[in-house]
Amino acid sequence: MGQMIAVAPSPSALSPVSCAAIIGDAIDCEAYPNGMGTEAQWNTTSSVDHQAYSYSKTVAEKAAWDMVKGQQRWDLVVINPSLVLGPGLNADATSESFNLFKQLGNGKMKSGVPDFAIGMIDVRDLAIAHYNAGFTPEANGRNIISADNSDSLTLGKILRQHYGDAYPFPQKNLPKFMVWLMAPLVGFKRKMIKLNVGHKWQVDNSKGKRELGMSYRPMQQTVIDFFQQMIDTGKVRPKG
């Protein structure tokens, strides 16, 4: 999700950035209290040369906060979502979320998946978070919006439980050394593999629940609804 500032009905601005402005690599969580990212932390490990996407989210959010300091007309509420999943209004959209689920179902990951830990949020719940932030006068500061701390293999297991063997879902994690060796061939840097594969990615979502009134639909519903949209629109097809 890109940087955007939109004027809200209350004297606030909403800035959707990302949890990437909090966590650059999963290993960063090990240095945080309780091993979890919170609104108090900033991503200090990303750069133009390493995890450039996460770096861009950090720079964007800091720029938004700098804008706040230069005026007194409005305050700022920041929404920091994790990986956004779920059925989209545009079934032909392109994003890393769509690419991930296509690969889970089209056989590209049937031999296994890297042990990547991820946070997830349903796009429909994220929309509610933005609405609540805009219409809740007490809303303030940064707000982690993330329903679950999970991983790629768990997504495959959920899909297999629902669809059985109709699609070649992954059933195991690939050894880290293999992922590390193959990384440059599939467009990943080995440093990124080292700092993420096999490490837990975790955030504390209690502030959003407490102050924005958030409650999250089950991850299973998000995963199945998202994949079903891809089936219905022909993005993935059953085996044989």
Mean pLDDT in residue range 112-116: 95
**With 50 as the cut, is the pLDDT of residue 50 above it?**
yes
Determine the residue type at 50. H
**With 80 as the cut, is the pLDDT of residue 187 above it?**
yes
C-alpha–C-alpha distance, residues 116 and 72, integer Å: 42
Mean pLDDT in residue range 8-19: 57
- CB within 8 A of 184, min separation 6: which ones? 190
Confidence at residue 74, expressed as pLDDT on a 0 to 100 scale = 85
In 3D, which of 31, 17, 37, 24 has the Cα closest to residue 149? 37
Q: What is the pLDDT of residues 79-95, one digit of tens each?
A: 999 999 999 887 777 78
Q: Determine the distance from the C-alpha atom of residue 177 to the mean position of all C-alpha atoms in its chain, rounded to a whole number.
A: 25
Q: What is the mean pLDDT of the chain?
A: 90
| The model's pTM | 0.90
Confidence at residue 239, expressed as pLDDT on a 0 to 100 scale = 82
Q: What is the pLDDT of residues 193-219, one digit of tens each?
A: 999 999 999 999 999 999 999 999 999
> What residues are annotated to the active site?
57
Q: What is the pLDDT of residues 139-178, one digit of tens each?
A: 999 999 999 999 999 999 999 999 999 999 999 999 999 9
Q: What is the pLDDT of residues 115-132, one digit of tens each?
A: 999 999 999 999 999 999
How many CB atoms lie under 10 A from the CB of residue 204?
Answer: 20
Q: Which domains are delineated in the chain? A: 6-232 (3.40.50.720)
Confidence at residue 16, expressed as pLDDT on a 0 to 100 scale = 58
